[in-house]
Amino acid sequence: MKILVCGKGGCGKSVIATLISKALADRGYDVLVIDGDESNLSLHRFLGLDMPRLFRDYFGSRKEVFERIKKLEIRSICEIPDDFIAKRDRIKLLCIGKIHEFGEGCACPMAALLREFLRNLKPERNEFVIVDTEAGIEHFGRAVEIGCDLILLVLDPTYESILLSKRITEMKMGKKVFFILNKIDETSKNIVLSSIDKTRVIAIIPVVDDIAVSCLKGEEINVRLKEIERVADFLVGMK
């Protein structure tokens, strides 16, 4: 199953992707985490892994990416070259690409690569793919989601997240969309739930101090939450 985690900037996408990946690995599944955010610099640290070589480099220059992805032949996780994977236990990390230099150009090659890679990838029954996307909705415009089976939209207690939930669920993608409310207290919980489609909510996660400290220090997140355990069980049941 290929699961895409999305949301506005700062909502906690990378944290949620990390927690879900670890919970699935604890259940005996092999998990490929894909860093699809050209700006994010911390996902690998949350997972306790080194940053792997950028997958974009496998295809050559920026211009070559567009041509070579048309002939992309990677169909399974085991076919990804080891040079582009960071691994520990049952979790593997693949990083699509990052913006490093002033004026190097837009992220279009990376979005195209992620879209075609996901479209071609066929996970085995004992495998999950968790995609941590860039913030916002541009990746929807680029149809990155076409290769995914399910979308998890992370909502923090902001009006922007409420608007985003409505915008995304109105899109005609043919994909199931579920919500994870993150960094929620009792006051914000009532306001958010009254403003969104509650039938899509599969978890409500409070502010967790240990997670906040790990994020601030750029350290591995080793917290286990009952809410995330239920999400993992839900995803296993959706396979």
Number of domains in the chain: 1
Whether the CA torsion 73, 75, 18, 93 is positive or negative: it is negative
Residues in the chain: 239
Q: How confident is the model at residue 148 (pLDDT cuts 50, 70, 90)?
A: very high
Examine the pLDDT at 83 and tell me if it is beyond 80. Answer: yes
* Residues sharing a CB contact under 8 Å with residue 21, sequence separation 6 or more, in sequence order: 31, 33, 47, 91, 128, 130
pTM: 0.94
- Quote the pLDDT of residue 111: 85
pLDDT over 90 percentage in the chain:
78
Exposed e or buried b per residue across 87-112, where buried means at least 16 C-beta atoms within 10 angstroms of its C-beta: eeebbbbbbbbbeeeeeeeebebbbb
Rounded (10°) angle between helices 13-26 and 226-238: 70
pLDDT above 70 covers a percentage of the chain that reads: 98
Please check whether residue 62 is in contact with residue 122, taking contact to mean a CB–CB distance below 8 angstroms.
no
Can you tell me the mean pLDDT for 164-186? Answer: 95
Helical residues (DSSP H) of the chain, grouped into ranges = 13-26, 43-46, 62-68, 108-120, 138-141, 159-170, 186-193, 209-217, 226-238
Rounded alpha-carbon distances, angstroms, from residue 162 to 73, 196, 211, 236: 39, 6, 23, 27
Residue 110: domain span: 2-238
Instruction: Give yes or no for residue 153 having a pLDDT over 70.
Output: yes
Distances (CA, A) of 37 to 17, 112, 114, 136: 12, 13, 10, 11
What is the rounded radius of gyration, in angstroms, for the C-alpha atoms of the chain?
A: 17
DSSP code of residue 76 = S
pLDDT band at 40 (very low <50, low <70, confident <90, very high): confident
Task: Report the chain's mean pLDDT, rounded to a whole number.
Answer: 93
pLDDT digits (tens, 9 = 90+) for 199-231: 999 999 999 999 999 999 999 999 999 999 999
Question: Rounded to the nearest 5°, which phi and psi values hold at 159?
Answer: -65, -35
Residue 73 confidence (pLDDT):
84
Q: Rounded CA gap, 236 and 81, in Å?
A: 27
Token code pair at residue 174: 């043919």
pLDDT at 105 (0 to 100): 64
Where does the pLDDT of residue 69 fall: very low under 50, low under 70, confident under 90, or very high at 90 and above? Answer: confident
| CATH number, residue 155 | 3.40.50.300
> What per-residue confidence (pLDDT) applies to 204?
98
pLDDT in the model for residue 220: 97
Q: Give the pLDDT confidence score for residue 179 in this predicted structure.
A: 98
Q: Would you place residue 38 in the very low, low, confident or very high pLDDT band (cuts 50, 70, 90)?
A: confident
| pLDDT of 158 higher than 80 | yes
Question: pLDDT tens across 98-144, in order?
Answer: 876 776 667 778 888 999 999 999 999 999 999 999 999 889 888 88
Tell me phi and psi for residue 205, to 5 degrees.
Answer: -110, 125
10-14, 67-71, 162-166: least confident range: 67-71
